[in-house]
Amino acid sequence: MQLLRATRGFTKWERPLLLGVSRKSFIGQLTGAPVAERLAGSLACAVWAVNAGVQIIRTHDVKATVQAVRMVEALRTENSE
């Protein structure tokens, strides 16, 4: 959690950042969800990371993650409808 909270700080090196927290145990520890039910927690982490400047997301649930990330990107864009 400390690393996730500090994600924006890693952008100072101006290098591509990759995050891989899909279905990780810390999500289960926080939510009580078994591995198969950690999609929401994984999406929350992916959205947080993209908002903090992460460019690459490693995930098990590609379609759902792409949709969540595209929504965040659209919300950040002034010209979105």
Q: Which residues are catalytic?
A: 24, 58
Length of the chain (residues) = 81
DSSP state of 27: H
How many of the other CB atoms lie within 10 Å of CB of 35?
Answer: 11
